Amino acid sequence: MTEQPSTIIKPTGLRAGDTVAVVAPASNLKAEYLARGVAELERLGFRVKHRADILDKAWYTAGSDQRRAEELMEAFADPEVKAVWAARGGYGVMRLLPLLDEAVLRANPKIFIGYSDLTALHLYLYRRFGWVTFHGPMAAKDLVGGEEHYDREILLAALTQTQPTGELKSSKTEMLHRGSGKPVSGRLLGGCLSLIVAMIGTPDELDTRDSILFLEDTGTRPYALDRMLQQLRLAGKFDEVRGIVFGEMTDCFQNAEQGYTLQEVLADCTADFRIPVMFGLPSGHSPGGNLTLPLGVMATLDADRCVLSIDEAAVG
């Protein structure tokens, strides 16, 4: 079984005027979306840089594995860059993990933000280095649509403030199970369910013990979500989890006439865990109000109030 890192490393918080690097370690980008995302980052008060070849294409990825790995390494090694910001998800990150230089990364902890396919890199950076990373809006996707597509206040608080962001409230959340009814606390970990399952059996599979486990996905049929949850169960990944928070799970349905809800499926899959289980937190594949979740910090899930709270600052 994998083990939790012995030390948690928090990156330095961002300040107005800091430089962020936009990177494309997964699928290829549209130039228009990249330009609009860069403009939004600049409106947030940051300088932005990216490689000239970020728009490269190789099948379904943003250029070759070598190009994308070099781009990541350059961004983390660049002393001018204070945050590494994923442009979009899709596919390709798992192909890069053997190409990354652990020694260089270990010496350069920085803010890293993204979701979806970037979950593989979140797991890698947490398992190997104990880094706090950020499950949040991506430059050439969520930021493209402006502020209605992401929660600007929570984003900036998570990345810039050296105090906890506190309660993450959303009208979209509901409790599937209350557990004991008492608030539970643990280290907030997780990401895209498909990638968490795909990383099982690798050196960077997620150790979920004593965690508040966040799971989200998109465009996945309920039976496939059920199957992945059963895999996590059989792998022992729910044995010592303190609470579960599901995302909105956008477009996760069989068909319009299926006769059951996704909430019913997820509630059934987690019915015997005897822990609080929340559904509907808008982070990751969410069409609006995308919340930034700092992964690796302590959090509390309060079933009675249906609230997830971030209890620890994510940056130093």
Find the catalytic residue in 27, 50, 71, 116: 116
- Token pair of 270 as six digits: 């987690």
Q: Are strands 81-86 and 19-23 parallel, antiparallel or unpaired?
A: parallel
Residue whose C-alpha is closest to residue 25's, from 100, 77, 81, 80: 100
Find the catalytic residue in 177, 248, 285, 309: 285
Residue 135 known to be catalytic: no
Residue 149 known to be catalytic: no
For residues 211 and 126, what is the distance between their CA atoms, to the nearest angstrom?
Answer: 13
For residues 234 and 119, what is the distance between their CA atoms, to the nearest angstrom?
Answer: 21
The set of residues, in sequence order, having a beta carbon less than 8 Å from that of 162 and lying 6+ positions away, is: 13, 313, 315, 316
Residue 309 known to be catalytic: no
For residues 260 and 304, what is the distance between their CA atoms, to the nearest angstrom?
Answer: 25
The set of residues, in sequence order, having a beta carbon less than 8 Å from that of 142 and lying 6+ positions away, is: 149, 150, 290
Is residue 284 within 8 A of residue 216, CB to CB? The reply is yes
Find the catalytic residue in 40, 205, 216, 248: 216
- Residues annotated as catalytic are 116, 216, 285
